[in-house]
Amino acid sequence: MTSASAASLTRADTASEATGAAGLVAQGVSVTFRRGTQVIDALKDVSLNIPRGTRAALIGASGCGKSTLLRVFADIVQPTSGTASHYGLTPAEARANRVYALVQQGSTMLPWRTVIDNVALGLEIAGTSKPERLERAAESLALVGLKGFEKSLPAELSGGMRQRAAIARALTLRPRFLLMDEPFGALDEITRDRLHFELLRILEETGATLFLVTHSIAEAVILSDKVVVMTPRPGRISQVIDVDLGQHRTPATREDPRFGHYELMLRRALHHDA
Ligand SMILES: Nc1ncnc2c1ncn2[C@@H]1O[C@H](COP(=O)(O)OP(=O)(O)OP(=O)(O)O)[C@@H](O)[C@H]1O
C-alpha angle with apex 180: 89 to 10, nearest 5 degrees?
30
Q: How far is the CA of 69 from the centre of ligand 1 (A)?
A: 10
Burial of 13 (0-12, 13-18, 19+ CB in 10 A): middle
The ligand 1 atom at the shortest distance from the C-alpha of residue 43 is 14
Q: Give the β-pairing of 237-242 and 226-230.
A: antiparallel
What domains are defined for the chain?
A: 3-99+175-273 (3.40.50.300), 110-174 (no CATH)
Closest residue (by CA) to atom 12 of ligand 1?
Answer: 42
Cα distances from 65 to residues 27, 29, 42, 110, 213, in angstroms, run 16, 11, 5, 29, 10
Protein residue with its CA nearest to atom 11 in ligand 1: 42
Q: What pLDDT does residue 22 have? A: 65
Nearest CA to ligand 1 atom 7: 33
Q: pTM here?
A: 0.86
Q: CB within 6 Å of ligand 1 — which residues?
A: 33, 35, 40, 42, 60, 62-68, 215, 233
C-alpha radius of gyration, the chain, whole number = 18
- Note the pLDDT of residue 273: 64
Cα(189) to centroid of ligand 1, in Å? 26
Quote the pLDDT of residue 192: 83
Ligand 1 atom showing the smallest separation from residue 182 Cα: 27
Per-residue pLDDT of the chain (274 residues; tens, 9 = 90+): 444 443 333 444 444 444 444 689 999 999 999 988 899 999 999 999 999 899 999 999 989 999 999 999 999 999 999 999 988 899 999 888 888 889 887 778 899 999 999 999 988 988 899 999 999 999 889 888 899 999 999 999 988 888 889 888 988 887 888 999 998 877 778 878 888 888 898 888 888 899 999 999 999 999 999 999 999 888 899 999 999 999 999 999 999 999 999 999 999 998 876 6
ipTM, interface predicted TM-score of the complex? 0.97
How many whole angstroms from 68 Cα to the centroid of ligand 1?
A: 6
